[in-house]
């Protein structure tokens, strides 16, 4: 099929998609880019950086013309596909409707991989009005390598432009002409085991094109004879006083002309200004540095200190630099930065303990996944980061897949710490990981890795949200690789701790990682997390969870066919395409066996999902609660936990706290409950009831109450403790311990915990479903991904709970594009039975979830006569013109939907 026929087919499919797809299909669907043909207008202002607005792309199998023709202005790119400014090949084809929704069923499996085993052309036109300024192409994010052409001339080869993270600046001044110019990239296919790029390991079914393309902006820079590069600020905060800070401004002044030049480099940070005259020989580069010793204003008293969310504010400073020649601006540079101090020493047990501005904090995070096709959507990313804050998390770990600059800008703004680093299980660790996936390195790989480290260090160093770089993941680098990384980091003035690996490994210079990667990655019972061994709550666990996180029924119906949904709940041994390509994680058997063993065999898809949400709530809650409780222990404290994973890049059945569409279920609300600022919780190991204070300030005058019930609501035990106090910064106090035995208690029972303040106002409520028969772990047969369970807790008694009516009333107010729906729930049952895990979903007139949404609380349990008022905040536009409605359901609550107006 020739290119013209392909384009025609794409247009027809795109039209059909537009006719049949509603907002429900994907609220973050990526619309087709504008047709190619409109060149990017490049500014002539010195210091400007204009991003190319898009490309026309086509397979080299369909293009027989010489590279010189393809890369020349006026070339007729007939039948080529329009692509956005950051786009993989497959992302462009999806945007043009060439393939069916890859997030549904096994559609992605039907995309032919052979189409992406040849190079693809990326072609873009740009216009320049004035060629008196110099012109540069500035880019990174090429996957996996590219030959680069400008106006018919090759300016770089794939040997030079290789690796996702390497940064390139090409001086194309001599080629650029007034009017229209063309840049073309001939992109090589990607193979993560062979190239220092990106791979997907076992997270999801990998994209057929392996993400080949250009996934960051290609900038056209303009400037005069002297260029400013590498501008940044080194900060030194006085700790613990935080009373002063010293700033050192650094940059490189580079003379790109063939004659000597004298430049005045001037700059400002706030009201502080500074300048220096620099004399440069032809093509000479000199470092320019301003320190507090020569610029007193760079010594700050009472600096505005940047803190993680919940610990303080997130102020940022701006650096502005200008290089002038003969009184004319030649170039400018601008950087934002924050002032904060990050240290991460090893504690007496060898665990890495982070300190921000002198204060210890427990790292509570999640593993980040970008969109599977690396499509950048600022709103979608911002929504997920807001979810992180809503969950009480403070950190996002990026194992490879290092997002564009805007991601870290958002993290700075919201106060979310980030732990970027290189990824495992492909070429990045191929030299050191024994027999695992990833080719051994050749001599050509070492400079690429070092250049990648240098580029990412320069890009990330000024972001206060970035608190480390992990130079290894499952394995630490060897001496040669580590030296290259550390040399690059040092040259970039890297300001925060460098960690050898995310696993319990060491490298020659960096020493012990202080982290563990002991799993689990598949199902374990909630009590697992309380043991101070393997993945339990001690030390710094860099990636761990109980594996599967089955989404809501709404999402399952969007991502799977009716036949696939039938298999999902009926056949635990079935391979699940939406879990993982890994044979280890190919099925849900461990999870399904536990679900049946603890709650009883599912009787329908709805029953399966109902039990899954209950199981995920209790397990995720236990994971974060155990790490939270143990954070200030005198012996073997917990110092960090990263939930594996925070989110998924596609429609998944595992490793996610929320699903692809940002719907929330048991996993989400279990995490939100566990990470509340002031929280009362139950300990699975010793039956203690503990109050944790995740705020900085201590609190006193608290009252904790623990009440034990049978599933039908009969009270069997009740105890209240008054006058409780707890220190801040993650400290805890034990309020009471439940008896080992309570008379008349069935094998399944409920525990309700409440925490009230000195005036009697309820601060927190936490409900557990427990068993007199514990889950029994077979520690001797622990594998890298789980510890077997030989007998299960008996929670089947929950099935005997009577159906309980819950009334709901709702009202909505809207202002400035944001709507808030307030919902009041009441258990109107006449008996004693509580409504367990009552879920509230905001839906439109067709019953479709309105997403994203941030609830004040959800999945609440109410005893007869009790009520709860919840608020949901969301974008008014996400109603798509519909009136809001509220759908209420629960473990033993009949589903009903009420108006939300």
Strands 342-343 and 328-337 come out as unpaired
Please report which helix (H) or strand (E) contains residue 93, including its range. Answer: helix 89-95
Number of H helices, E strands in the chain: 12, 51
Give residue 15's pLDDT: 33
Q: What is the tens place of the pLDDT at every residue in 600-625?
A: 999 999 999 999 999 999 999 999 99
Residues 6+ away with beta carbon under 8 Å from 601: none
DSSP string covering 270-289: TTEEEEEEEEE-TT-EEEEE
For residue 27, pLDDT over 60 is answered with no
Active-site annotation holder among 210, 383, 412, 543? 543
Quick check: 28 pLDDT over 80?
Answer: no
pLDDT of the residue at 436: 87
Per-residue pLDDT averaged across 152-179, rounded?
97
Band of pLDDT at residue 37, cut at 50, 70 and 90: low
Angle at 680 between CA 678 and CA 686, to 5 degrees: 140
383 classed as catalytic: no
Has 543 been annotated as catalytic?
yes
Torsion region of 348: left, alpha or beta (phi above 0 gives left; psi -120 to 50 gives alpha): alpha
> By percentage, how much of the chain surpasses pLDDT 90?
95
pTM here is 0.94
**Could you tell me where the DSSP H helices lie in 369-429?**
378-390, 405-414
Beta bridge pairs of residue 750: 709, 769
Tokens of 371: 């969109």
Count of beta carbons in the 10 Å neighbourhood of residue 114: 8
**Banded model confidence at residue 759, pLDDT cuts 50, 70, 90:** very high
One of 474, 534, 663, 693 is an active-site residue; which one? 474
Nearest to 71 by CA among 60, 84, 85, 61: 60
Q: What is the pLDDT of residues 779-801, one digit of tens each?
A: 999 999 999 999 999 999 999 99
Tokens of 675: 């990470």
Segment 160-166 shows an average pLDDT of 97
Residue 19's pLDDT band, with cuts at 50, 70 and 90, is very low
Cβ-Cβ contacts under 8 Å for 326 (sequence gap 6 or more): none
Average pLDDT over residues 198-207: 95
Residue 870 burial (CB count, 10 A): 19
Model confidence at 30: pLDDT above 60: no
- Between CA 718 and CA 751 the distance in angstroms is 10
**pLDDT range class, residue 38, cuts 50, 70, 90:** confident
Burial class (CB in 10 A: 0-12, 13-18, 19+), 743: exposed
Q: Would you state the pLDDT for residue 434?
A: 84
**Residue 20's pLDDT band (boundaries 50, 70, 90)?**
very low
The answer, yes or no, to whether residue 286 has pLDDT greater than 70, is: yes
Average pLDDT over residues 520-546: 97
pLDDT, position 33: 54
Residue with tokens 């929950």: 798
pLDDT of residue 901: 86
Q: Would you state the structure tokens that stand for residue 859, as one six-digit string? A: 């999945």
Cβ neighbours, 10 Å, residue 366: 27
- Asked whether 457 and 492 are in contact (CB, 8 A), the reply is yes
How far is the C-alpha of 520 from the C-alpha of 654, rounded, in Å?
Answer: 13
Query: What percentage of the chain reaches a pLDDT higher than 70?
Result: 96
Other C-beta atoms closer than 10 Å to the C-beta of 835 total: 28
Is the four-CA dihedral 216, 222, 227, 228 of positive or negative sign?
A: negative
What is the separation, in whole angstroms, between the first and last Cα of the chain? Answer: 54
Cβ atoms of 230 and 251 within 8 Å: the answer is yes
- Judged by average pLDDT, the poorest of 3-7, 464-468, 568-572, 668-672 is 3-7
């Amino acid at each position: 099929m020739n290119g013209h026929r392909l384009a025609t087919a794409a247009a027809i499919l795109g039209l059909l998609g537009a006719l049949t797809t509603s907002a429900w299909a994907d609220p973050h669907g990526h619309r087709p880019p504008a047709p190619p043909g409109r060149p990017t207008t490049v500014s002539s202002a010195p210091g400007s950086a204009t991003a190319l607005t898009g490309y026309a792309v086509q397979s080299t199998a369909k293009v027989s013309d010489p590279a010189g023709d393809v890369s020349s202005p006026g070339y007729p790119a007939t039948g080529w596909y329009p692509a956005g400014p950051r786009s993989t090949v497959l992302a462009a084809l999806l945007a043009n409707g060439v393939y069916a929704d890859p997030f549904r069923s096994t559609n992605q499996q039907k995309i032919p991989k052979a189409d992406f085993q040849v190079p693809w052309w990326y072609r873009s036109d740009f216009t320049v009005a004035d060629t008196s300024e110099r012109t540069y192409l500035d880019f990174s994010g090429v996957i996996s390598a590219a030959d680069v052409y400008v106006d018919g001339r090759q300016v770089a080869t794939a040997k030079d432009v290789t690796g996702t993270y390497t940064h390139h600046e090409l001086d194309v001044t001599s080629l650029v002409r007034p009017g229209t110019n063309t840049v073309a990239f001939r992109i090589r296919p990607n193979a993560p085991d062979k190239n220092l790029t990106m791979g997907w390991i076992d997270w999801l079914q990998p994209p057929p094109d392996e993400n080949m393309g250009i996934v960051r902006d290609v900038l056209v820079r303009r400037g005069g004879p002297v260029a400013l590069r590498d501008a940044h600020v080194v900060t030194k905060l006085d700790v613990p006083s935080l009373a002063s800070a010293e700033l050192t401004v650094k940059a490189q002044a580079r003379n790109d002309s063939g004659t000597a030049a004298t430049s005045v480099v001037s700059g400002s940070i706030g009201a502080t200004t500074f300048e220096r005259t620099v004399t440069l020989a032809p093509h000479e580069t000199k470092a320019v540095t301003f320190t507090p010793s020569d610029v007193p204003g760079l010594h700050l008293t009472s600096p505005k200190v940047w803190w993680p969310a919940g610990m303080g504010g997130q102020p940022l400073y701006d650096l502005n630099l200008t290089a002038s020649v003969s009184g004319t601006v030649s170039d400018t540079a601008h950087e934002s930065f924050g002032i904060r101090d990050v240290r991460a020493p090893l504690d007496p047990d060898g665990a890495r303990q982070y300190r921000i501005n002198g204060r210890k904090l427990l790292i509570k995070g999640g593993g980040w996944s970008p969109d599977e096709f690396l499509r950048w959507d600022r709103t979608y990313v911002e929504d997920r980061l807001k979810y992180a804050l809503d969950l009480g998390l403070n950190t996002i770990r990026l194992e490879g897949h290092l997002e564009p600059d805007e991601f870290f800008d958002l993290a700075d703004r919201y106060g979310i710490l980030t732990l970027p680093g290189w990824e495992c299980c492909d070429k990045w660790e191929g030299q050191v990981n024994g027999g695992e996936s990833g080719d051994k390195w050749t001599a050509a790989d070492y400079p690429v890795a070092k250049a990648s480290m240098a580029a990412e260090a320069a890009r990330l160093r000024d972001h206060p949200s970035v608190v480390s770089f992990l130079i290894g993941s499952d394995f630490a680098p060897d001496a040669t690789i580590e030296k290259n990384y550390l040399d690059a980091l040092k040259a970039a003035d890297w300001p925060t701790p460098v960690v050898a690996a995310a696993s319990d490994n060491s490298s020659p210079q960096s020493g012990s990682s202080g982290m563990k990667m002991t799993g689990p990655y598949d199902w374990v019972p909630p009590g697992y997390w309380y043991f101070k061994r393997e993945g339990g709550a001690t030390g710094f666990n860099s990636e761990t969870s109980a594996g599967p996180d089955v989404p809501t029924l709404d999402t399952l119906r969007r991502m799977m066919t009716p036949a696939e949904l039938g298999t999902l709940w009926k056949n635990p041994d079935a391979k699940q395409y939406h879990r993982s390509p890994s044979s280890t994680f190919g099925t849900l058997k461990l999870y399904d066996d536990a679900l049946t063993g603890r709650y009883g065999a599912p009787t329908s898809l709805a029953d399966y999902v109902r039990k899954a949400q209950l199981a995920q709530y209790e397990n995720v809650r236990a994971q974060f609660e155990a790490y939270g409780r143990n954070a200030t222990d005198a012996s073997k404290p917990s110092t960090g936990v990263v939930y594996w994973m925070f989110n998924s890049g596609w429609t998944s059945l595992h490793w996610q706290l929320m699903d692809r569409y940002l719907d929330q279920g048991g996993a989400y609300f279990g995490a939100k409950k566990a990470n509340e600022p002031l929280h009362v919780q139950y300990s699975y190991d010793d039956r203690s009831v503990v109050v944790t204070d995740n705020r900085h300030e201590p609190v006193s005058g608290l009252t904790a109450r623990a009440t034990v019930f049978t599933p039908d609501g009969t009270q069997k035990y009740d105890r209240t403790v008054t006058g409780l106090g707890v220190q801040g910064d993650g400290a805890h106090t034990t309020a009471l311990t439940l008896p080992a035995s309570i008379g008349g208690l069935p094998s399944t029972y409920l525990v309700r915990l409440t925490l009230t303040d000195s005036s009697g106002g309820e601060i927190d409520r936490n409900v557990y479903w427990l068993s007199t028969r514990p889950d029994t772990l077979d520690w001797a047969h622990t594998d890298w991904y789980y510890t077997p369970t030989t007998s299960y807790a008996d929670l089947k008694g929950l099935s005997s709970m009577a159906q309980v009516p819950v009334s709901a009333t709702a009202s909505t107010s809207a202002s400035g594009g944001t709507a808030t729906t307030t919902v009041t729930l009441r258990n109107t049952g006449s008996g004693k039975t509580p409504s367990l895990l009552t879920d509230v979903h905001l839906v439109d007139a067709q019953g479709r979830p309105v997403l994203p949404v941030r609830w004040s609380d959800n999945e609440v349990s109410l005893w007869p006569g009790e009520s709860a008022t919840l608020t949901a905040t969301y974008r008014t536009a996400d109603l798509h013109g519909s009136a809001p409605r509220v759908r209420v359901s629960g473990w033993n609550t009949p589903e009903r939907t009420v108006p939300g107006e």
